[in-house]
Structure 1
């Protein structure tokens, strides 16, 4: 999954959709926090 998100980051336009699909609602992670987690895992 991280690889898919990384590719989506490279594409740029679909980032929000990928994050929305990957993160269950109510988890409490903000977009910036998710980006930091993705960057740390990349």
Structure 2
């Protein structure tokens, strides 16, 4: 008798390589990615 099993390990995390918290070990995107923001985000700032 031969038994063949397959085990898939799901590692939740951020799978977006451009995100600040990218996790190279993540296999399932859990929605935790933090986008990179460039430039000023203060609408009240005047140059």
Give the TM-score, by structure 1 length: 0.17
Report the structure number with the largest CA radius of gyration.
Answer: 2
Structure number with the higher strand fraction is: 2
Give the TM-score, by structure 2 length: 0.17
